[in-house]
Amino acid sequence: MKAKKMMKPFLMVMLFLCTSLFAFADKSVDYKEGDIVFQISKSKQSPLIQYATKSFLSHCGIIVEKNNKFYVLEASNRVKLTDIDSWINRGRFGLVVHCRVFNKPVKIKYAKYLGMPYDLSFKFNNNKMYCSELVYEIYKNQFGIELCRPRQVKSYRLFGIRNKLKQRGISENQMVVAPCDLLDYPHYLL
């Protein structure tokens, strides 16, 4: 109960900071395949992710181009392609943080991921995917780039949400990557 009471002021401060630091989605952005996009999800687990990671960002995906149109490859209920405008509109406040890893053209191989179920337990190597794991794995396996180092769940803020983690089968010792962790990559624009 205390965690829920603390969540609203935290989210209000984060909302103020995010509107101060980042522009709202500009549909004229020059997206390129391989770009990583972040947003505030409207999912029920979004406030928990924001609280635990101390970040306003709770969802991410990777830009792919198909038939001269841009899509976000994302893990939500399943791994799927969502057209960029729908993805932006589905996020909270239309806010998108956009990161470009490569300044050169790249091609994302994504077919093997399509249709994989969403991983509510945030585990690696279980034939399920969560959003930041998908982005992390693509960069690591296809380009040899580790965008961040996986962290133990217990390294995040867990006060008031430990029971929720146990209900989902999440161990405090398991390794995970969160959307905010992917932003810490020091060498964007390779």
| Residues of the chain with confidence (pLDDT) below 70 | 1-28, 185-190
CATH number corresponding to 2-182: 3.90.1720.10
Determine the pLDDT at residue 22.
44
- pLDDT of amino acid 20: 33
pLDDT tens by residue, 50-85: 999 999 999 999 999 999 999 999 999 999 999 999
Read off the pTM: 0.84
pLDDT for position 6: 47
pLDDT at position 183: 84
Instruction: Provide the pairing of β-strand 69-75 with 151-152.
Output: unpaired
Phi and psi, residue 2, nearest 5°:
-65, -40
Which long-range CB contacts under 8 A does 120-129 form with residues at least 24 apart?
120/168, 121/168, 121/169, 121/170, 122/153, 122/168, 122/170, 122/174, 122/176, 123/170, 123/174, 124/150, 124/175, 124/176, 129/75, 129/79
Domain boundaries, the chain: 2-182
